[in-house]
Amino acid sequence: MATPPSTDESWVLEPVRNTPKHFFFRMGLALILGFFIWKLKLDYVESYLYDLRVALRPQTEQALHTAAILIDPNTVAEHRGLPSAEDHAKVLSLLNSARPKAVVYVFNPKDLEGTDSQKRQFVGETRKFEQFYFVTNDLEMKGEEGKLRLPPPYESIRVFPGPKNTDTTIFAKDGVTRRMMLSYQEQILLHPYLAQQFNREIVDLTKVRGHFEFLDSLQTYINFMPKGRVPTFSFSQIESGQLDTSQFTDKIIFIGQDLGTSTKDYITTPYSRDIVAMTTTEMHANMVETLIKNNAPIRAPDWLNLVFTLLISLITVHVVLTLRPLRGLIILGASLLVFTVFSYFSFWPFGVWISMAHPFLAIFLCYYFFIPYRLIIENRRSWEYYQKHRLLQQVEELKTNFIGMMSHDLKTPLARIQGMTEIILKDETPISSPQREAIDTIQQSSRDLLNFINTILNYARIESQGIELNLQSKDINELLKEVVKKHEFLAKLKHIQINLELEPLFSMPVDADLLKQVFSNLVENAIKYSPENSKVLISSEEVNEKIVIQVADQGIGIPSDELSNIFMKFFRSKNAKSSPIKGSGLGLYLAKYFVELHNGSIFVESTPGQGSTFTVELPIKMETRR
Ligand code: ADP
């Protein structure tokens, strides 16, 4: 069963309306949403994304100016406890021979064990260094300079503030160390002080890359190297004297602990959140190395973050509301990818940290915020479509019923009229010639009317239920001859000569009734739309596995701008409408439909004023449309 194809395109759901008013309203909403997203505190996620970039960048750098000496479990095992002040004195004297730039104790020397004389011996060794410091987390406020002092006998050791800045209560609050302090209340801290001795550029702290002010301090981010990039030695290894200490010449040596017993000896880094991810000692070395190389990451300004967030909000809202869902998702995914790649390559190799959390959140929030909005609108629209469709269906049903009813009710009285005229004509009683003419006209008109009703009935039938082919093996030429015979009378009235040029054909399976209707329509049109004393040529032949039937006339022709419409239902050309020639405008629509049911095609060539040629092509091996 085949039904005519639907040409109603209003059923395709369209994106939401896009008038300038709607556009600006939506974009305004997107900007407001983007602005509020930008206002959110997302330090935790932002720092996590930063850490990812740190961990995923290729890192080949080594520490060149620092080294770490650690009191490790090995040292404790050898000393059966922590090394004493005397042991420290011995190590310092060994180091001293290498003339390091500076020695920094990461733990408090006052906690060293030993007798007073051993402690004094230790202090004596510390004095032999040009620079010897104990780095503390404590800070001196302005006016309190010199407050940080060690008790005797350590008072000669300079206590230098150089705190570790772990995000426990501020920023990411995730316990990771990412930042360092350069100065506090304009007093320089240990790390820049040491680094300046290698890199004169940063004598002016505002030349430190990525510096920013926070409360009373100047800070920057530590450009961490992965764990193990700072040359590290065991305390006992040095003490044994087996190590060549010349490698410490001109270096800054940090001496600390790696016992795994106290969390203050360790930090978590962007590389790892393991609680023993890196020793505090190595962290100090990383801080100084960052400053010497002056390669701290720069955090992109917040306004740039705002720009990206707003831009992404705008794109997302636009995409969600105006594109088809799958395409929208692809475009959003692509924007996300481009932004991620851009952020990654800004960080490596350029060391610029572009905030990603806000733009990411903007994509998700705008998406989830506006999708329901779109759904509501689409829902409403499909409801409207549904209502319209139902109404159309009802109208269509009414129309079909009406046509059916009308046609049947008309056919019965018409059949009676035809019956009566035949009785009169068969009757022997002589009638006058005007009477005979009147009866002939009645007969012809009722035949026309019946034809018309049958066409309408056919149309109503295929519109409501389609048509099933009733295939029988037939010779197309026979069908053509039958059709011509049926129209001979009409042709004779207009003195039109019908010529047949039929090539012999094999029989093929066709629906004879339907094809007869097709050919009838073509022949009837050829006669209808041709002047008197013209010719109509009907031909058939086999070309390339196809039967080609042509009906050519010398009639009024069809204007070229109307050629594409003549197979549409109820279409009648301007010529036809203005002429007294009657017609429903359904004949060619049905003809095309019937020919296509046979998998064939029908087309027309025409020159106005000269004539038209209709061509029907039927495949010999037909696979019917079902
Ligand atoms: P109608 O019942 O009006 O003939 P058709 O569907 O058969 O309806 O034809 C549609 C229109 O195509 C006609 O109204 C007429 O304008 C044009 N047409 C069809 N056949 C011819 C022809 N042989 N010569 C000129 N115009 C034609």
Distance 555 CA to ligand 1 centre (A): 11
List pLDDT tens digits, range 90-102.
Answer: 999 999 999 999 9
Beta bridge partners of 546: 543, 619
Distance 521 CA to ligand 1 centre (A): 9
The pLDDT of residue 2 is 45
Q: Which tokens is 475 given?
A: 């010779």
| C-beta of 459 in contact with ligand 1 (< 6 A) | no
| C-beta of 517 in contact with ligand 1 (< 6 A) | no
Amino acid sitting at position 103: V
How many C-beta neighbours within 10 Å does residue 67 have?
20
d(CA 578, CA 572): 10
Provide the 8-state DSSP code for 113: B
List pLDDT tens digits, range 51-69.
Answer: 999 999 998 899 999 999 9
Q: What is the 3-state secondary structure (H, E, C) of 463-494?
A: HHHCECCCCEEECHHHHHHHHHHHHHHHHHHC
Between these two residues, 411 and 115, which has the higher pLDDT value? 115
d(CA 481, CA 188): 113
The pLDDT of residue 15 is 56
d(CA 304, CA 355): 9
List pLDDT tens digits, range 415-473.
Answer: 899 899 989 888 888 888 898 889 988 988 888 888 888 887 877 777 767 778 889 99
| C-beta of 571 in contact with ligand 1 (< 6 A) | yes
Distance 573 CA to ligand 1 centre (A): 7
Distance 527 CA to ligand 1 centre (A): 11
d(CA 183, CA 205): 8
d(CA 282, CA 229): 9
Mutate to test the pocket of ligand 1, among 551, 573, 575 (most ligand atoms within 8 A of CB): 573
Residues recorded for the chain: 626
The pLDDT of residue 12 is 40
The pLDDT of residue 623 is 56
The pLDDT of residue 3 is 44
List pLDDT tens digits, range 577-592.
Answer: 777 777 778 899 999 9
d(CA 546, CA 600): 9
| C-beta of 592 in contact with ligand 1 (< 6 A) | no
| C-beta of 587 in contact with ligand 1 (< 6 A) | yes
List pLDDT tens digits, range 175-187.
Answer: 999 999 999 999 9
d(CA 27, CA 24): 5
List pLDDT tens digits, range 494-523.
Answer: 999 999 999 999 999 999 989 999 999 999
The pLDDT of residue 16 is 59
Distance 340 CA to ligand 1 centre (A): 64
How many C-beta neighbours within 10 Å does residue 468 have?
12
List pLDDT tens digits, range 225-240.
Answer: 999 999 999 999 999 9
Q: What is the 3-state secondary structure (H, E, C) of 227-277?
A: CCCCCEEEHHHHHCCCCCHHHHCCCEEEEEECCCCCHHHEEEECCECCCCC
| C-beta of 573 in contact with ligand 1 (< 6 A) | yes
Is residue 105 within a helix (H) or strand (E), and if so which, with residue range?
strand 102-105
d(CA 465, CA 486): 29
d(CA 407, CA 456): 8
User: Got the DSSP string for 568-615?
Assistant: STT---HHHHHSS----S-HHHHHHHHHHHTT-EEEEEEETTTEEEEE
Residue 398 pLDDT greater than 70, yes or no: yes
Distance 475 CA to ligand 1 centre (A): 27
Which ligand 1 atom sits nearest the alpha carbon of residue 590?
6
Tokens 């087996």: give the residue. 242
pLDDT > 70 fraction of the chain, expressed in percent and rounded: 96
